[in-house]
């Protein structure tokens, strides 16, 4: 039985993760981490049934010292994720991170600590299996279509832009694509930002609108043709197979893995 703690249980992703772990016969939800006082037990929060008698903590250090979970699933905010990951790795807890917001330097540091401690850690920009496949296929296509733009679309409550999925996609494409600036050499933005953000010359456009969940398309242009890869998540349940997979897999890892495409 894998002892699991979840950070951010009342968010939309967090609620799905709580139900998923509670209904998994190989896992036990032993604690949750919230950012505000909601009661001593998760069952005291109106989002959950009375049977969810899981202790609630406001501080991760207290949670770890009191409960000693095997795995901590972080679904909190980009502002907290690095601190949470470091605390877990320094206290023999395996982090499964579904919150974006790491810098490259932070990822490198976490990777070093995980490897030094021979402790599994998974950082997943996207838990949806279809999105992971989209990223893998995009990297394959970039070897043949070097001109590419990424459009990611999310709900209007998302805190970071671009999304972790878009950023990871651009990184994977950049590994096989010759670095170059796209568009006309002397193009000019008459409205700053019109061409989007840029990663190694790859434009990334972020859309934030009510009604969206998580969507991305990667558009490759070539002579006389357009090749588009697209993935849509219409609800948070689409991410739960990846969450379950990650919790199981992180128990056998002895290092940090960035992206589920590396262990599928």
Closest among 73, 71, 123 to 102, alpha carbons compared: 123
- Determine which helix (DSSP H) or strand (DSSP E) holds 62, and give its type and residue range: helix 60-67
Q: How far apart, in whole angstroms, are the C-alpha atoms of residue 221 and residue 149?
A: 9
For residue 232, what are its two tokens? 């849509």
Whole-number Å distance between alpha carbons of 161 and 159: 7
**254 marked among binding-site residues:** no
Distances (CA, A) of 209 to 150, 159, 229, 239: 17, 12, 21, 20
Asked whether residue 8 is marked as a ligand-binding residue, the answer is yes
Q: Is 230 annotated as a binding residue?
A: no
The verdict on whether residue 12 carries a ligand-binding annotation is yes
78 marked ligand binding residue: no
Enzyme catalytic residues? 154, 158
Q: Answer yes or no: are the C-beta atoms of 110 and 86 closer than 8 Å.
A: yes
Is 17 annotated among the ligand-binding residues?
Answer: no
Residue 139 known to bind ligand: no
Does residue 68 come out as left (phi exceeding 0), alpha (psi in the -120 to 50 range) or beta? left
DSSP state of 16: H
Is 13 one of the annotated binding-site residues? yes
26 appears as a binding residue in the annotation: no
Residue 112 assigned ligand-binding role: no
Residue positions forming the annotated binding site: 8-13, 36, 98-100, 124-127, 155, 164-165
Residue positions forming the annotated binding site for (S)-2,3,4,5-tetrahydrodipicolinate: 155, 164-165
Residue positions forming the annotated binding site for NADP(+): 36
Residue positions forming the annotated binding site for NAD(+): 8-13, 98-100, 124-127
């Amino acid at each position: 039985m894998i002892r699991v703690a979840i950070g951010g249980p009342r968010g939309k992703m967090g609620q799905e993760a709580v139900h998923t772990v509670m209904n998994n016969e190989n896992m036990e939800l032993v604690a949750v981490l919230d950012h505000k006082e909601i009661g001593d037990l998760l069952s005291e929060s109106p989002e959950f049934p009375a049977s969810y008698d899981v202790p609630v903590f406001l501080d991760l250090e207290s949670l770890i010292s009191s409960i000693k979970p095997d795995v901590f699933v972080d679904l909190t905010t980009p502002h907290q994720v690095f601190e949470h990951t470091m605390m877990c790795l320094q206290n023999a807890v395996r982090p499964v991170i579904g919150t974006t917001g790491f810098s490259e330097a932070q990822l490198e540091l976490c990777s070093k600590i995980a490897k030094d401690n021979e402790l599994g850690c998974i950082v997943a920009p996207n838990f949806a299996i279809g999105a992971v496949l989209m990223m893998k296929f995009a990297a394959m296509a970039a070897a043949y279509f070097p001109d590419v733009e990424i459009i990611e679309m999310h709900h209007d409550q998302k805190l970071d832009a671009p999304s972790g999925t878009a950023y990871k996609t651009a990184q994977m494409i950049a590994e096989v694509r010759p670095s170059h600036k796209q568009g006309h050499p002397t193009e000019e933005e008459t409205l700053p930002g019109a061409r989007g953000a840029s990663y190694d010359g790859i434009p990334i456009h972020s859309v934030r609108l009510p009604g969206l969940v998580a969507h991305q398309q990667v558009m490759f242009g070539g002579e006389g043709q357009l090749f588009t890869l697209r993935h849509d998540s219409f609800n948070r349940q689409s991410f739960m197979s990846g969450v379950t997979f990650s919790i199981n897999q992180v128990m056998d890892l002895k290092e940090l893995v960035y992206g589920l495409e590396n262990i599928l």
